[in-house]
Amino acid sequence: MLQESFRAIAIPSLFSITALAGSLAATPSWAQDKYPSHAITLITPYSTGGDSDLAARNFSAVAQKHFGQPVVVINKPGASGVIGSEQGRMAPPDGYTLLLSRPGSQAILPAIAPSKTNYKWSDFTPIGLLELNPYGCYVKGTSSYKTYKDLETALRTNAGKMNYGSAGSLTTNDMGPKLLFNILGLKTLPTQIPYKGTGEATSALLAGQVDFSCSSIGPAYGLIKAGNLRALFVTTPERLKTLPDVPTASELGIKKMNQITGWSGISGPPNMPPELVQKIWSFMEQTGKDPKWIQATENAGSVPYMKGPDEAAAFTEEQFKVYRELGESLDMIDKTM
């Protein structure tokens, strides 16, 4: 553009040079660079092995083809997703640092522990949704709890001597059991053993260190299919085609558990230019139609759910409202962590 300007004006005036410099200065860096001109960082606010990590890596493996640049996943776990989310929020709004948004970090924490975060659910730029994660509770494959009713009986009669593993505080892994205990009207609760991520919680379950765990099915899917873990129920409207023998929460009379579900999306820091958001979404949309991404997502036990910026914003707001109401009903608002 600069060379063409000088061809058009043989002897540029001081005014024209000043105007040209001002025009370049006003041009966003992402536009000057013909975004993307280099690698993109995708922050996942949880540890390796969980839904956040799986979603980020499945996305990055295919998205780099459509972005035309590497999409590098960086795990930033800590404070139930706050540390990584805050880093994503404070990044320059140039599209080179994106956040893998999750229900715990983007909806549950702002809804239930607003004083513990430096951000609100709306303090990010929603770019798109990626997937939904069927949720459920499960035990070790050799556990004496063969069905959900077996676990329910144990919880009603012996909860004080039981424990369960969860990934962090104020995540779906944490909220699911709390809601279940509330549904059952338990006066004595099992001991919660928190871990940094779903992968660690699952390993503890396999080692017999905890009695049961609840989370998105994805990270445990292969172990369930192999018989190492036994899923007791899922919170989907209908039974999963890939796990046809696992009953739904509705079938078991605990329909309220359907409020808990996992999901992944892509967000950016606040004040991203709308044109840049649409450009990134166009690359996401292409990725969402790619058979390799669809297969990888389904193989991880998740449901492809690629939606654009407006739908992502509405979805996140609705999730915030769900957990705010749930937190109020469980008397949890700002009483945790």
Q: Rounded to 5 degrees, what are φ and ψ at 167?
A: -95, 100
Average pLDDT, the chain: 89
Q: Residue 28: which pLDDT band, with cuts at 50, 70 and 90?
A: low
Q: Given this chain, do its domains 33-133+261-329 and 135-259 carry the same CATH topology?
A: yes
Q: What one-letter code names the amino acid at 9?
A: I
Q: What is the distance between the alpha carbons of residues 100 and 129, in angstroms, rounded to a whole number? A: 10
- List Cβ neighbours of 52 (8 Å cut-off, separation of 6 or more): 44, 45, 46, 100, 102, 264
Domain with residues 135-259, CATH architecture? 3-Layer(aba) Sandwich (3.40)
The model carries a pTM of 0.79
The CA dihedral of 191, 195, 197, 201, to the nearest 10 degrees, is -60
Q: What is the pLDDT of residues 49-92, one digit of tens each?
A: 888 999 999 999 999 999 999 999 999 998 889 999 999 999 99
Domain 33-133+261-329 sits in CATH 3.40.190.150: yes
The answer, yes or no, to whether residue 304 has pLDDT greater than 50, is yes
> Distance from CA of residue 62 to its chain's centroid?
18
Q: What is the pLDDT of residues 113-129, one digit of tens each?
A: 999 899 999 999 999 99
Percent of the chain predicted with pLDDT > 90: 74
Q: What is the distance between the alpha carbons of residues 153 and 137, in angstroms, rounded to a whole number? A: 15
Q: Domain locations in the chain?
A: 33-133+261-329, 135-259
How large is the average pLDDT for residues 129-152? 96
| Residue 76 contacts residue 45 (beta carbons within 8 Å) | yes
Q: What is the pLDDT of residues 213-253, one digit of tens each?
A: 999 988 888 999 999 999 999 999 899 988 999 999 999 99
SS3 assignment, position 146: coil
